[in-house]
Amino acid sequence: MRHIIAIVFLVVFVNLACNGSRQQETTSVLSNKLQIEHLDCFDQRFRFFDKEWQFADLIGQGAYGKVYALADEDGVVSDELVAKVFYRIDQESVVKHLKEEVLLSRAFPDHFVATGVAKYFSFKNNFGSTVYAGILVKERIHGVNLVELIETSASKFLGSKKDILKAYESLEEFKQELSEQMLKQSSKKIFMGDLNPNNLMYDGENWAIVDATHFDSKSSILSYLDQPGLDGHDVNFLIARLETSKMPLDADVFNTWIDVQLGGPYDELQRRYNKAVQ
């Protein structure tokens, strides 16, 4: 089981001028109802576990937020933790996203990085509208994602035949174990999807998912599959298996589900592997 990292506060960057009148901070907890803190401003610093933290460099950005390195009050960057920041006008979507990522972290502890809610709060933007912020802290993976791995920038991970064999074989083992866990969690209506190859990371030894989406039914997976660019034998196989109730789901279904989502970058790594073993 992956080592579970201690959860710390994360705070969201907003384009506001602080006026020093922020309300007293309250502890956020993940429960059936998240506690919300109302802030007048945010100065990119926060306190948690009796320690001051602050944003360091922006190290990633996606559709659902930005990822920052964390530094202590002396400016020393943490090797273990990163902060994911996202905010929306829609309060429910923020709460849903917070709960989903923690759920996936708990349901797939050997595959999804340790993730916890640090804080959930709101603020007024420059136009006077209320914005809701989600604050997550995640285990930091020192490596490259699957897309970067097959680019020249990742030559240190695929610089030799041995490296290629190691990367591919470890990914195959990871996928097999993940598909078995997906099958187990499916009985609880927990399906992990949107496995973007940019969110599957490799540190030279192991693989880890740093971001994904929770689907709560087979029909939601079918909806995901019904999009441009997803076609071919594997997609048709998945649709046929998900649409029928006569055949139970099995690990092969979920292994195919993973392959479909990883797409071209996975196919390219497999191509290099096949070439290396010839």
**Residue 66 falls within a domain, yes or no?**
yes
151 and 165 housed in the same domain? yes
CB 126 within 8 A of CB 17: no
CB 110 within 8 A of CB 97: no
CB 16 within 8 A of CB 99: no
CB 190 within 8 A of CB 216: yes
Q: How much is the mean pLDDT over the chain? A: 84
Rg (CA), the chain: 20
Rounded to an integer, what distance in angstroms lies between the CA atom of residue 115 and that of residue 97? 12
pLDDT given at position 53: 80
**Residue 76 falls within a domain, yes or no?**
yes
**Residue 209 falls within a domain, yes or no?**
yes
63 and 182 housed in the same domain? no
- The residue among 248, 242, 244, 243 whose CA lies nearest residue 187 is 248
148 and 273 housed in the same domain? yes
pLDDT at 246 over 60: yes
Q: Which of 108, 139, 170 is the last residue of a domain?
A: 139
**Residue 11 falls within a domain, yes or no?**
no
Q: Quickly state the pLDDT bin for 275 (edges 50, 70, 90).
A: very high
226 and 106 housed in the same domain? no
pLDDT at 41 over 80: no
Rounded to an integer, what distance in angstroms lies between the CA atom of residue 36 and that of residue 95? 10
pLDDT at 1 over 90: no
CB 69 within 8 A of CB 82: yes
- The residue among 246, 106, 258, 98 whose CA lies nearest residue 190 is 106
H or E stretch covering 188: none
**pLDDT per position as a tens digit, 174-207:** 999 999 999 999 999 999 998 999 999 999 999 9
Q: Quickly state the pLDDT bin for 278 (edges 50, 70, 90).
A: confident
Q: Quickly state the pLDDT bin for 47 (edges 50, 70, 90).
A: low
**Residue 15 falls within a domain, yes or no?**
no
Return the CATH number at 106: 3.30.200.20
**Residue 12 falls within a domain, yes or no?**
no
**Residue 107 falls within a domain, yes or no?**
yes
Q: Which of 139, 160, 189 is the last residue of a domain?
A: 139
Q: Which of 90, 124, 139 is the last residue of a domain?
A: 139
**pLDDT per position as a tens digit, 74-84:** 999 999 989 89
Residue 214: domain span: 144-277
Please count the structural domains in the chain. 2
